[in-house]
A and B are shown apart, each in its own frame.
Chain A
Amino acid sequence: DSGVTQTPKHLITATGQRVTLRCSPRSGDLSVYWYQQSLDQGLQFLIQYYNGEERAKGNILERFSAQQFPDLHSELNLSSLELGDSALYFCASSRGGASGDYEQYFGPGTRLTVT
C-alpha cells in the first residue's frame, strides 16, 4: 500500500460524457501527478500540481483538466469522452519542493472504460 488513494476503482461511461477521478496523496506529500496508461502508449505523464498550483504539463488533451485543492487532494476531469480515452489513470505523489525526495508513489489507479 503506497498511501495514495484513488476513487473510483472502475468507471464505465458512454462517449460524450464527463467524469471526475479523485486522488488523495500520501500524508505530507505536496506534489500530485496524473498519468494515463493505455496498451499501445504505455504510461504517459499528463499534469503535475504542487501545493495547489499547476507545475508541469505533459500530453494532456484540452478536453482534460485537473486541480489540486487546499487539502491537497486532486481531481482529474475528463470531458467529451471518446473511445480512445479508455485507459488506466494513475495518480502519484511525492514530497516535492526542496525536500530532495523525488520518489513518486503511485495509487492503485482508476480503470476507465468508454463505450
Chain B
Amino acid sequence: GQNIDQPTEMTATEGAIVQINCTYQTSGFNGLFWYQQHAGEAPTFLSYNVLDGLEEKGRFSSFLSRSKGYSYLLLKELQMKDSASYLCAVRVYSGGGADGLTFGKGTHLIIQP
C-alpha cells in the first residue's frame, strides 16, 4: 500500500516563506505532484517531480528526494490568497497506463497579515 504524511496545518505571515513537507512510502513510485485546493473547489496543479532535485516555477518550488521518500513545496513572498490546502500526491504506475494518484490528507496553510 501507500502511505503519505504531511502536516495537518501551518501558519505563516504575508510576505514570508513557508516550506510544506511530505514524506511517502510506496511501491511503483513514478512521480510526485503538489496541488492547491481552496475550500469547496477543485484541486489545481502546482508542480510535478519525477527526478531528484528542485523544480522552480515563479513563487513556488518543489523538491524531491526519491531515496529518502521526501518532498517539499516552498512558497515565497506569501500572499493572502495563498491560504488554502496543499495536497501532496504520489503517482503510482502499475503498467498498461494505470496511474491513479494517492493523495495525502493535505496541509491547511493559514496566512496572517
Contacts and interface: CB of A to CB of B under 8 A. Distances in A.
A103 B48 contact: yes
A16 B41 CA distance: 28
Interface in A1-18: 2
Contacts, number: 64
A106 B96 CA distance: 22
A30 B91 CA distance: 17
A50 B97 CA distance: 7
Interface string B85-104: 00101010010111111111
Contact of A31 (B33, B41, B44, B97): B97
Given A42-B106, A55-B96, A56-B94, A104 B101 contact: yes
A56 B98 contact: yes
A108 B48 contact: no
Given A90-B43, A102-B91, A44 B103 contact: yes
8 contacts: A2-B42, A45-B102, A47-B100, A56-B99, A96-B99, A106-B35, A106-B42, A109-B41
Interface of B: 31, 33, 35, 40-45, 48, 87, 89, 91, 94, 96-106
Interface of A: 2, 31, 33, 35, 42-45, 47-48, 50, 55-56, 58, 88, 90, 96-97, 102-109, 111
